[in-house]
Structure 1
Amino acid sequence: MKALFLKYKSVVKFILTFLTVYVVFTMAYKLYLDFSDGSKYYPDYITNLVANQSEMLIDVFGYDAVTKPHANETSMKLIVNHKFVARVVEGCNSVSVIILFMSFVIAFADKFKPTFLYVLSGSVLIYSVNLLRIAILSIGLYNYPWRKDILHTVIFPMIIYGMVFLLWMFWVNRFSKKRKKNA
């Protein structure tokens, strides 16, 4: 057993680091959500910000968008040209995806500065693509409501998770010092 552990020490270290970072960040985010009172920014600051920035982006595309708190759910209603098309819920704000991205990069990291810069730039990219995703999805739902299932459950998750996967592969192949040490 010891020989097996020594042989796969780097894999075990990666998995334990990934899980530790993921659990710590997820718990911190859960605490943030638990202590968000929602009185000033409903349902929480980040989700509210994402909804309002998506509204502005939809306006840039030439549509009239409005966001407002949902009366019956913990979400923001997204209205395009006076038609309710989507709800922006906590899961839409990209924080969970960013936590997943950061956990992998940190678990596969060596030096602090390149890791920090890559996590920061990758997180900004994920956040920005998520805003674009919400805007395009909302416009798509406005124009093609009968395509709701494929747009929301297949195409747009594929875009965001596909981008995270490509960022991971780029990190491992270009920036990770561990890869170069083992080569």
Structure 2
Amino acid sequence: MKGWGVRVIALLAVVGSYWLVYQHGRSVERAEAATASAQRDSGDRLAEVLGERGERQEEHRRAAAHEEVRAHAQEQRTTADSAAAGADAAGQRLHDEAGKLAATVGCPGQDPAVAARSQAATRAAMVLSDLLARADARAGELAAAYDRARVAGLACEASYDALLIGEIRSGP
């Protein structure tokens, strides 16, 4: 009987030692898994931070490009407006000259036939002067509208190109 007790105790000691070795192996495995998980999480956070930084830089680049396009478009609008003002002044001088010419076309005379022709010529010159003034005014309006549309279109195209360049750099 004594032999059996020692054998049972020895068997329990062997089983207990195997159990302790197994538990130690599990704890080492858990520690290694936790380390690997922490490294992976750290890498994920680093990638996320770098991605956010890159996105912020791209956002700043786009904002700067958009502001540059806006400023350039404003300069073009100012130039177009000053050119339109110069054209309006030249058109006004032309209208004044046409009005003066229309006023001087008629020549008073004693002959009723000459006077009638003079009045008809004056009326024709006045109609032509008025037609010239309206055509010039309409041409000025169309030129101003064209200038505004051209500046807006160029600004839109430049803004799109600035965004497209960023898309090409960052890839799909």
- TM-score when scaled to structure 1? 0.34
Q: Which has the higher helix share?
A: 2
Query: Bigger relative contact order, structure 1 or 2, given CA contacts below 8 A and separation 6+?
Result: 2
Bigger Rg, structure 1 or 2: 2
